[in-house]
Structures are given as C-alpha cells and as structure tokens.
Structure 1
Amino acid sequence: MQLNLKNPIVFFDLETTGINIAKDRIVEISLLKVNVDGSEQSKTYRINPEMPIPKKSSEIHGIYDEDVADAPTFKEVARQLANFMEGCDIAGYNSNKFDIPLLAEEFIRAGVDFDMTKRKFIDVQTIFHKMEKRTLEAAYKFYCDKTLKDAHSAEADTRATYEVLKAQLDRYKELKNDVEWLSKFSSHNRNADFVGRIIFDENGDEVFNFGKYKGQKVTEVLKKDPGYYSWMMNGDFPLFTKKVLTNIKLRSAFKKE
C-alpha cells in the first residue's frame, strides 16, 4: 500500500554517541523523502560529533572515531538538512521519544531555526507496539517477511521503517492511510516539548509531566515557586524543553502587563 500523502514525508534514523538527548551527538543521519506522487529521494550523512564516540556505542552501530574524523560537523550540514525536510511531515522508529528530540537539540546548537512543532510525526514503533507489542528487525520480519541486513545502519533502518509502515497499512484495516490520523495514533501524549517533560492537558494548558509538580500547570508552578524555573534552566534538560519553558514564562509575564 502506498501512503496517502498531503505533504511529503521524511523517514529518518540517527546513529549517535549515546542515548542522552541533552548531551549526546549524531554520528550518522539518513533521510528518505517520499513525495506526494510517490517518488523518493534519499540522503545519508556521516557526522563528526565533535566528541569521542564511546566504545559501547561504536560496537552497536559500527561507526568509530576514525570513521568520522574528516566528516562535516552537524552545524556544517544543518542548513542542507533543514532545506531537505522543509514542508515535510516526519516519521521514524522510536522517533518521538529519541530521534526527533535529539535532532531538535542539534538544530538549536547549530543556530538553525528549524521549527518541527508544526509537523505531523508518525512513530512506526508505537504503531507496532500498539498493534503487536515487539525491535525494528522483528517488525521487518513480521510485516515484510524479510531479514534486515545491516541493522543499526541508519540507511538500512530508515528504509526498513518506511517499508514496515506501508505493510502495517496493508495488514490493519483499522489504520487510516492518513498522516494526521497516524500521527495521533502513534503519539502517547500531546507534548509541548519533544521529550514530554511538559505536555498539554485536556484544556490545552501546559502541565509538568515529571517530578514533584507532575500534573500541575506550568504557569501556576512558576508563580508559586519561581526558583523552579532557574533549577530547570541550570539542570540537565534538553535545550528545546528550556526554550518551551522560557516561552511559557515570557507569555505569562506579558499577560500580566
């Protein structure tokens, strides 16, 4: 089944130095753009993360320091990536929890204003878990009856993710071939930031989704405990989470005026 698209959609996968969204860096990114007419464009970049790649990470994805020593930094390719993804919805495997938040961090560090908040996100892993409950290799075998060669290669994982989504649409008649519907179905919360530290409640208000103020409105917490803002800004939170928090604080201050 081909995707029913209103906008182009980019499937992407990252290989990284680790799994800490705030601190780790991209070492490889692969993108597969599917246009509205079904035509495809793909790009893969090795990235110099400007930090050592831990041995444990290299053993997983097979990319070592010497492999990216002469590769461009993310900042050097950020504008190319933003242009390639401009106007596209976004899909990946476990992308809502990891790849999208980490990519957003890299864009912020590179000083490239690439607003992903207006995109629709499809997380193929979430659909898989909701429909069958299980790695990408297993999903590829289950849905496509193929063995995933070069697993943990960003390019192989990216194309496998695209094929799995199409096979999911063929298998499950209750799934709608509509990006907006799939985006909602593959989301757990309505996140205000990408990692879900701040989410929207049923009234559309931002609330904290962690810690001692979980479930409480951000504006009310900042009012009764002003120091919480400073604690978060100085803490090990993603840059985009801090940006969202600052926007809420500024918006609240302007309302008072």
Structure 2
Amino acid sequence: MGLNLKKPLAFFDLETTGTNITNDRIVEISVLKVMPNNEQIIKTTRINPTIPIPLESSLIHGIYDEDVKDKPTFKSVAAQFATMLQGCDLAGFNILRFDVPVLVEEFLRAGVDFDITNRKMVDAQRIYHLMEPRNLSAAYKYYCNKDLEGAHSAEADTIATFEVLKAQILKYEGCTIKDGDGKEFIPVKNDMNALHELTASQFVDLAGRMVLNDKGEEVFNFGKYKNMKVTDVLQKDPSYYDWMMKGDFALSTKKKLTEIKLRKFNHKV
C-alpha cells in the first residue's frame, strides 16, 4: 500500500548526545523522503557533535566519540538537509516531543531558519499509544485475557497488577534479548532481586532526579549537571546542594542528597 501524499513526506530520526533538547547535539541523522509517487530517497549522515558523547548515550546507540571525530559538524551539512527537507511534511516516532525540537535547535545554531509553521507533522508514536494503550487495563487484557472491571479503584487495580506480573513471568521467564552491546541475556526471572534490577535499580531517589550510571555511580539526571557525578558536583559547586535543599524538590530527593553528601564529606550539614 502506498501512502496518499499531496507533497513529499520526510521520515527522520536522530541519534543524539542525550535527551536535553537545548544542550544536546545530533550525532547521526537519517532522512527518508517519500515522494507523492512513492519514490523514496534516503540520506544518512553521522555528525561530529563538537561535544563529548556521554557513555550512557553511546551504550544506547553505539556511536562513540572516536566514531564521529572526523565527521562533519551539523553546521557544515545543515544546508544540504534543509534543501532535502524543503517543501516536505515531517514524520517519525516521538518526533513532536524530541526530534523536531532538537532538529530546529541545530538548524538555528547553524544559522538556518527551518520553519515548521506550514508543515504537517505525523508522529507514529502517538498513533501507537492511541490505538494500543499501554495502561493497566490494556496489560490486563493482553497478559490475562480479561477485562478490568472497576478500573482505577485501588483494589481492582492492585489485584490486576498482581495477576499481570504473574502472567508476565510465566510468558517471559527464560526468554533472551540482546543488550546494548549485542550480548544475549535473560531479563525476566521469577526472582524479586532480578526484577528489581530490571525495573527500578537505576533510580537513586524516588523522583528520579539522581540515577546510577553504567558504573554504578550516582549522577544527576536533570539540569546543568545532568550525567555528572553527584559527589563531584557537590565538591565543585557546594552552593548547588543549598539550592536543591531550598528548591521545589521532593523531600525524599533532599534526604538522599543529604545522605550522599554526608557519606562523601563525613560532616554534619
């Protein structure tokens, strides 16, 4: 089946140094331009982001600093991609919340006014979430083949979650998948330690303001010190601790931050 197009539709995806729309940079861009006659033109380019790629990001997309050190900067290829995208509507997966804002930022930094005002944008993720809901009722139907009666009542949701977890273990226990390095492992086991490691072990505080990196080190997960070790930030910028303690952060976050500071510097706060 061909798409019913009145103008070219450009599918695109970005790999980046991180998830911060303002500060992170593109390390790879791929555009698939589908013409109204369904002819397809594809262009994929790796980009030197001019800033280091955090290991956490490299482990996801497999692109390391060494891979892009001799690649062009986005500024040097911006005109090519602007020309390719000229007159196109845009499509992708999660492009509205991430890829489009990042691409526009990169074009602006390169001095290219990439106007999206008159472009139609299609986000396949939104269609996916609309048509295949990822809520407890949908999980209960998928894993248990039952309709959730009384959804959003505490007891019904609690019992349904219990049944869903049992069904997930029954369905996935022993199944292998590949990690970021291509190594096979078994993620789901009928063991609470293993399931904790799978679903919750990365978070340091309940609000997710601090997480563990791949080395098991506590790093900030937001703001100007994102991906930096908490202890390094507290040593480099002691006022950051005071700012967080006075700021609108969860009490559990402040408690955990204080614990880290006491552990590192071994004195009363």
Q: TM-score, normalised by structure 2?
A: 0.50
Aligned to 2:13: 13
Report the 3-state secondary structure (helix = DSSP H, G, I; strand = E; otherwise coil) of the residue aligned with 1:129.
Answer: helix
Report the 3-state secondary structure (helix = DSSP H, G, I; strand = E; otherwise coil) of the residue aligned with 2:14.
Answer: strand
Aligned to 2:118: 118
Pairwise CA distance, 1:118:
1.3
Which amino acid is 1:104 matched to?
A: V
Deviation track 1:72-123 (CA, whole Å, cap 9, x = no partner) reads: 0000000000000000000000000000000000000000112112110000
Aligned to 1:98: 98
- Looking at CA atoms only, which structure, 1 or 2, has the larger radius of gyration? 2
Which structure carries more relative contact order (alpha carbon 8 Å, separation 6+)?
Answer: 1
Which amino acid is 1:5 matched to?
A: L
User: After superposition, where does 1:23-172 map in structure 2 within 5 Å?
Assistant: 23-134=23-134
Pairwise CA distance, 1:133:
2.2
Q: Give the direction of change, closer, same or farther, for the CA distance of 1:151–1:120 in structure 2 (3 Å limit).
A: farther
Question: RMSD value over aligned CA atoms?
Answer: 1.9
Unpaired runs of 5+ in structure 2?
135-177, 181-269
Once residues 32 and 24 of structure 1 are traced to their aligned partners in structure 2, the CA distance between those partners, rounded to angstroms, is 23
Deviation track 1:27-82 (CA, whole Å, cap 9, x = no partner) reads: 00000000000100000000000000000000000000000000000000000000
Unpaired runs of 5+ in structure 1?
135-149, 153-257
Which amino acid is 1:78 matched to?
A: A
Which amino acid is 1:95 matched to?
A: I
Once residues 17 and 93 of structure 1 are traced to their aligned partners in structure 2, the CA distance between those partners, rounded to angstroms, is 18
Deviation track 1:217-252 (CA, whole Å, cap 9, x = no partner) reads: xxxxxxxxxxxxxxxxxxxxxxxxxxxxxxxxxxxx
Q: TM-score, normalised by structure 1?
A: 0.52
Once residues 151 and 91 of structure 1 are traced to their aligned partners in structure 2, the CA distance between those partners, rounded to angstroms, is 28
Which amino acid is 1:25 matched to?
A: R
Aligned to 1:171: none
